[in-house]
A and B are shown apart, each in its own frame.
Chain A
Amino acid sequence: IAGITQAPTSQILAAGRRMTLRCTQDMRHNAMYWYRQDLGLGLRLIHYSNTAGTTGKGEVPDGYSVSRANTDDFPLTLASAVPSQTSVYFCASSESMTSDTQYFGPGTRLTVL
């Protein structure tokens, strides 16, 4: 059992390019989340999904989009990357939106030049 995985591990991207960060979990969790982590700001929620087919906006959704076609996958897309999106991105999942524990993926370090 892999738990929750993310790809790529790291990426350097030119500004203006499109990029999709992948997240997959095999725990059959209904809820999934995307956070960005910046020094001094902790973790900030970008988007979330209660269950397959539904998504919602978090604290910092601008410039990002998500989809949830099935239970296992929750990709995050940057349509046109900007330098301010340089960050470490963590995907997380929980059994449901009312579950306590969130399990985090290993993270993706994204640099936008």
Chain B
Amino acid sequence: GENVEQHPSTLSVQEGDSAVIKCTYSDSASNYFPWYKQELGKRPQLIIDIRSNVGEKKDQRIAVTLNKTAKHFSLHITETQPEDSAVYFCAATINYGQNFVFGPGTRLSVLP
């Protein structure tokens, strides 16, 4: 089955700097890659996603890139703000909800 690895497990950046979180997946058939943000004590919420037919997608300060050949995708956050502090989860799936496999998460801390 699918296996998703995520690095780093923790990341600290200065406010205003950029943050990059990387995920790798094992199943080349995976075709949908969402990113979820989970603030302390809250539920996970989708922040951005990308499909396998697209190489990059941007939404304001957040972007996701996908390299299908290497089987990895990354979350990029620019001009980080304290409210970006949270745990971020990547996921990969072949058939949407039935096969969602999440990475173990990255705890991002944005230092003032």
Contacts and interface: CB of A to CB of B under 8 A. Distances in A.
Given A40-B104, A42-B103, A48 B43 contact: no
Contacts of A33: 97, 100
B100 A102 contact: yes
Looking at chain A's contact residues, the main secondary structure is: loop
B97 A48 contact: yes
B12 interface: no
A42 B89 contact: yes
Nearest to A106: B43
Interface residues of A, number: 24
A31 B43 contact: no
The residue in A41, A43, A94, A98 that gathers the most chain B C-beta atoms within 10 A of its C-beta is: A43
Interface of B: 1, 6, 9, 32, 34, 42-46, 49, 89, 91, 95-98, 100-105
**Nearest 4 pairs of A and B residues by beta carbon:** A42-B102, A104-B43, A43-B102, A42-B104
